[in-house]
Chains A and B, each alone.
Chain A
Amino acid sequence: MNCRRARKLLTGVSGAGSGADPELARHLASCAECERFAERWTEVRDGLKGRLTTLTPDAGFAARVTARLGPPADPFVWAARRLVPVTLALTLVLGGWCLLRTPAPSSLADELADGDLLTWVASDEEEQR
């Protein structure tokens, strides 16, 4: 085993993990540099595990947060949440009113197909002459 392979195993970068690899153990016993690296790596890993700033929020933290609160949620989403029922009701009322007042486009189409419309225009012209 060469140093490169040994260090990849030690750092878990090879994906294999170092766990009780006899070949690695033999390499570490015979290579002072890798042994030093292994010690340093263990210190770094332990340091990462223990690296924690322990800080307890004081009694005023929640108040400091609420003092900075803006309008709830994204303003547009919030407004939409509020406006959805109103918009829906208005649409239904207006839609119903329009349906009662105006013939539906489909019924108009039934009454005057393209051919009939041309006939109607032509006959009108004849009358005007």
Chain B
Amino acid sequence: MRADLGTLTLAILPSEAGERQAEERRWITASLDGDRDAFAELVRRYQQRVFRLAGRFFRRPEDVEEVAQETFLTAWRKLHTYAGKAPFEHWLTRVCTRCCYARLRQRPDPEPLQSIDLPVAPGDPTAGVELERLLARLKPADRMVLLLLDGEGWSTAEIAERTGWTRTNVKVRAHRARARLRRLVEEDLER
């Protein structure tokens, strides 16, 4: 019985995934022909994923919403460049990562600390504010690479693929970003 259920599950799952993919392909094709309703379906399917990634970089809800909108608007404009070889989600993640970076660069000192609802660490109520101060003193590229490595847990290869930087470039940036952060922590401790 157990074995039968296992077989049944295996039989259903691939077909469901296939159906999901086929549906997605239809939405993409229709979107390329200008069908906004089909594109809205793509938005609804991936909006949570995009909000989550944007939430890594931005603390104010209006920034997260704005960069999420920008991601989908860029996806709409650039949809003809999606070759369909990798999953659409991967392509959209790349678009979102680049939109986040563009916004970080536009606004190097993005958020006034008092406007952010910062999480309070159980041990130290000032830890969240201290972290934001440190991050605000890093260059956008350093902030980006640290939040992707330590926050999102992406590998060097994943960051390279999604940012368009080379792997060597990502490694160098990560090394420099950690070194800068180390110096900032040391400066804070010396005060």
Chain A interface (Cβ < 8 Å from any Cβ of B): 7-8, 11-13, 15, 33, 36-37, 40-41, 43-57, 61-66, 68-74, 77-78, 81
Q: Which of A36, A55, A64 is the one whose CB lies under 8 Å from B64?
A: A55
- State whether A61 touches B56 (Cβ < 8 A): no
B80 proximal to A (CB < 8 A): yes
Asked if B4 is at the interface of the complex by the 8 Å CB criterion, the answer is no
Option from B61, B64, B182 in Cβ contact (under 8 Å) with A7: B182
* Selected contact of B47 from candidates A12, A13, A44, A62, CB within 8 Å: A62
B185–A37 CB distance below 8 A: yes
B186 within 8 A of A: yes
User: Provided the pairs A55-B55, A61-B43 are in contact, do residues A73 and B78 lie with their beta carbons within 8 angstroms?
Assistant: yes
CA distance A78 to B158 in the complex (A): 31
Question: What separation, in Å, do the CA atoms of A12 and B127 have in the docked complex?
Answer: 22
Instruction: Give A6 to B54 CA distance when docked, in angstroms.
Output: 35
Query: Cβ of A68 and Cβ of B58 under 8 Å apart?
Result: no
Of B11-19, B28-36, B88-96, which binds chain A?
B28-36
Shortest distance in angstroms between A16's beta carbon and chain B's nearest beta carbon? 12
Q: Tell me the smallest distance from the CB of A74 to a CB of chain B, in Å.
A: 6
Q: Which 7 A-B pairs have the closest CB atoms?
A: A53-B55, A47-B131, A48-B150, A62-B43, A73-B80, A57-B47, A72-B34
Given A36-B189, A68-B69, A52:B51 Cβ within 8 A:
no
| Pairs A–B under 8 Å by Cβ, sample size 7 | A57-B48, A61-B47, A62-B43, A69-B73, A72-B77, A73-B32, A77-B80
Point out the residue from A51, A64, A70 that lies within 8 Å of B151, measured CB to CB.
Answer: A51
- Chain B residue nearest in CB terms to A36: B189
Closest residue to B72 on the A side, CB-wise? A65
B181→A62 contact, CB < 8 A: no
Q: Shortest CB–CB separation between residue A124 and chain B, in angstroms?
A: 59
Report the Cα distance A44→B78, complex, angstroms: 37
Chain A positions within 8 Å of B54 at CB level: 53
Q: Does A65 contact B128, Cβ atoms closer than 8 Å?
A: no
Chain B, interface size category, equals 35 or more
> A44 and B134: CB pair below 8 A?
yes
Chain B residue with minimal CB distance to A77? B80
A40 close to B47 (CB less than 8 A): no
Q: What's the Cα separation between A96 and B37 when bound, in Å?
A: 43
With contact pairs A49-B151, A52-B55, A55-B64 given, residues A65 and B182 touching in the complex (Cβ less than 8 Å): no
Partner of B36, one of A45, A66, A81: A66
For residue B59, CB closer than 8 A to chain A, the reply is yes
* B56 engages A11 (CB within 8 Å): no
Q: Hey, which chain B residues are within 8 Å of A69, CB to CB?
A: 36, 39, 73, 76
- Interface-centre pick from A13, A48, A56, A66 (highest chain B CB count, 10 A): A48
Contact A11 B32 (CB under 8 A): no
Q: Which residues of A contact B79 (CB under 8 A)?
A: 72-73
Neighbouring B residues of A57 by C-beta, 8 Å: 47-48, 51, 65, 68
Q: Which of B124-160 contact A (CB under 8 A)?
A: 124, 127-128, 130-131, 134, 146-147, 150-151, 153
